[in-house]
Amino acid sequence: MRYRAGDKRGFTLIELLIVVAIIGIIAAIAIPGFLRARIAGNEASAIGSMRAINTAQQGYAQLCNGFAVALTVLGTAGPGGAQAFLSPDISAAATILKSGYSVTMTTGAGAVVVAGGPCAGAAQTNFYAASVPLTTGSTGTRGFATNNSWTVFQDTSGAAPTEPFTVAGTVSAIQ
């Protein structure tokens, strides 16, 4: 198309439609990649939460002669005003919603309550922590769990691995 000096004409409708079509094609190619990257980030955060709980439980067990019974207990200061065992973003409530995952901690299989330790509240001989996607497929595709074995297990079906952990079918160890 030839333009003359002083012409006030802009782009033609065909030119604008071509540009919009190109932008649409680029978006269609990029969006699935962005979704996969978000899911990978959410799953990495869930694994990090399981590892943080393991580390906090190790510290709690050394000072308190047993494992904490809830996430909120790990968020409190240790004996003598020591720093909290777990950061507030994971220990503010019994169930935490973080990065598209629901993180919980309960009594582990066969746990026995240990009373009389130096920490406020009772301790137990085992714990079980799990992290499952809020929406399987869009916020995450794997469920994660850990206990006092200090190993993080994954279930590729999106459910939390159950105790006792056995590596079979959709369940495997990642740490």
pLDDT digits (tens, 9 = 90+) for 104-143: 999 888 878 877 667 766 788 899 999 999 998 889 999 9
Residue 23 has pLDDT above 90, yes or no: yes
In whole angstroms, give the CA distance from residue 61 to residue 148.
10
Domain annotation covers residue 133? yes
- Say how many Å lie between the first and final Cα of the chain, rounded: 63
- So what's the pLDDT on residue 105? 94
Domain annotation covers residue 2? no
Place 77 in a pLDDT band, splitting at 50, 70 and 90.
confident
The residue that leads in pLDDT, 123 or 71, is: 71
Domain annotation covers residue 7? no
- So what's the pLDDT on residue 160? 92
Domain annotation covers residue 4? no
Domain annotation covers residue 50? yes
- So what's the pLDDT on residue 8? 65
**For tokens 């540009």, what's the residue?**
19
Long-range contact set of residues 53-62: C-beta below 8 Å, sequence gap at least 24: 53/86, 53/90, 53/103, 53/105, 53/129, 53/146, 54/129, 54/146, 54/150, 54/152, 56/85, 56/86, 57/85, 57/127, 57/148, 58/150, 59/85, 60/85, 60/119, 60/123, 61/123, 61/148
Task: Count structural domains, the chain.
Answer: 1
Domain annotation covers residue 107? yes
Domain annotation covers residue 153? yes
- So what's the pLDDT on residue 43? 95
- So what's the pLDDT on residue 155? 94
Supply the range of the domain harboring residue 50.
13-173
> CA 129, 111, 71: angle at the middle one, nearest 5?
35
The residue among 108, 103, 123, 115 whose CA lies nearest residue 53 is 103
Domain annotation covers residue 3? no
Average pLDDT over residues 36-55: 95
pLDDT digits (tens, 9 = 90+) for 1-19: 565 665 666 788 899 999 9
